[in-house]
């Protein structure tokens, strides 16, 4: 999952790569140790085939310092690597390429805002095919409202809760990661159920939907400002691909930015990449299914083809 600043692309696994992945464990204590176990089992079971590590953070390593650094003492970055890393890079990268293919334009000429909306959710600003900003931060907790994660939060709230509730760091971290977001607001984290409850008059569910869509809209606006020119907004992942309601709410009121949705196109059931903006809309609004497994497979093949595979 986490390659830190050490990996900007997939890597052919050897002892040195394993140790560099191990060095990133403090940045992803729940994920990287499990990934290392998988590497150890796979390489032991299939020692005569090449193994490749693909990193969810690598796509975002192109984000410039003014966007990836936090305004905290420099020593925290120099010694502890405190910065924005971003996640869902495999999905954002795949969807960006699919958008270029659909639009019939080279990826390196396109400015895109990609919205990966699932139980975990993130936005990415892509300029000329490269990530220049993303909503998730040093961890996946920052950014959009998610199924069980809070997203953007005043950091002082954590200190306030520690004082007022007596909860320790582990309990607070668990609460913000596992019991917040949609679940924290209305009790459930499945957007389909949240929408159903809202239709039945559940005020907390309705509030959760409004908060979810409003946060997406704020990031769209921010990334329009950061990019200057936007060729397409792209919705992907479970909610992004399957919820016309959320897509409509996220894009409402953005006509001044050239962003709008055609209700009939948005509501139509269709598979594959499709447009949902009005025919004369200046900014394309696309729905494109993601396929992270395919992207990982393609990156693996590319890595092996471009590497000198040592004999085992």
Domain ranges (residues) in the chain: 11-86+293-306, 106-291
Rg (alpha carbons) of the chain, rounded to whole number: 20
- Confirm whether 11-86+293-306 and 106-291 share one CATH topology: yes
Is residue 262 flagged as an active site residue?
Answer: no
Q: What is the pLDDT of residues 30-88, one digit of tens each?
A: 788 999 999 999 999 999 999 999 999 999 999 999 999 999 999 999 999 999 999 99
- Distance between first and last Cα of the chain: 26
Task: For residues 15-32, give the mean pLDDT.
Answer: 87
Task: For residues 104-129, give the mean pLDDT.
Answer: 98
Sign of the C-alpha dihedral computed for residues 223, 229, 233 and 234 taken in this order: negative
* Fold (topology level) of 11-86+293-306: Nucleotidyltransferase; domain 5 (3.30.420)
pLDDT band at 273 (very low <50, low <70, confident <90, very high): very high
Query: In this structure, what DSSP letter does residue 141 have?
Result: T
Tokens standing for residue 86:
């971003």
Q: Which of 14, 48, 56, 170 is catalytic?
A: 56
Q: Name the superfamily (CATH) of residues 106-291.
A: ATPase, nucleotide binding domain (3.30.420.40)
> Is the per-residue pLDDT at 310 higher than 80?
no
Q: What is the pLDDT of residues 129-140, one digit of tens each?
A: 999 999 999 999
pTM across the whole model: 0.94
- Residue pair 166/189 in contact (Cβ under 8 Å)? The answer is no
Task: Identify the pLDDT of residue 32.
Answer: 86
The neighbouring-strand residues paired with 125 are 113, 133
């Amino acid at each position: 999952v986490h390659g830190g600043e050490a990996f900007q692309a997939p890597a052919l696994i050897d002892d040195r790569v394993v140790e560099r992945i191990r060095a990133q464990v403090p940045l992803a204590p729940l994920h990287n140790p499990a990934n290392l176990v998988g590497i150890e089992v796979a390489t032991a079971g299939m020692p005569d085939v090449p193994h490749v590590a693909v990193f969810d953070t690598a796509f975002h390593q192109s984000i410039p310092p003014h966007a990836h650094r936090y305004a905290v003492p420099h020593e925290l970055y120099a010694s502890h690597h405190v910065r924005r890393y971003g996640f869902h890079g495999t999905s954002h990268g795949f969807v960006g390429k699919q958008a270029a293919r659909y639009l019939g334009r080279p990826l390196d000429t396109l400015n895109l805002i990609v919205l990966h909306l699932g139980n975990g959710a993130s936005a990415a600003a892509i300029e000329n095919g490269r990530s220049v900003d993303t909503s998730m931060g040093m961890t996946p907790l920052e950014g959009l409202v998610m199924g069980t994660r809070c997203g953007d939060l005043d950091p002082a709230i954590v200190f306030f809760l520690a004082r007022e509730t007596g909860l320790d760091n582990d309990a607070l971290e668990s609460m913000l990661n596992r019991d917040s977001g949609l679940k924290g607001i209305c009790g459930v984290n499945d957007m389909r159920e949240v929408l159903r409850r809202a239709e039945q008059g559940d005020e907390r569910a309705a509030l959760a939907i409004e908060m979810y869509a409003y946060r997406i809209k704020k990031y769209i606006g921010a990334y329009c400002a950061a990019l200057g020119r936007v060729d397409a907004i792209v919705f992907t992942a479970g909610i992004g691909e399957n919820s016309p309601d959320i897509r409509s709410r996220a894009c409402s009121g953005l006509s001044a930015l050239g962003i709008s949705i055609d209700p009939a196109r948005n509501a139509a059931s269709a598979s594959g990449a499709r447009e949902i903006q009005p025919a004369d809309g200046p900014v394309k609004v696309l729905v494109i299914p993601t396929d992270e497994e395919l992207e990982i497979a393609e990156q693996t093949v590319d890595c092996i083809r471009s590497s000198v595979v040592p004999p085992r």
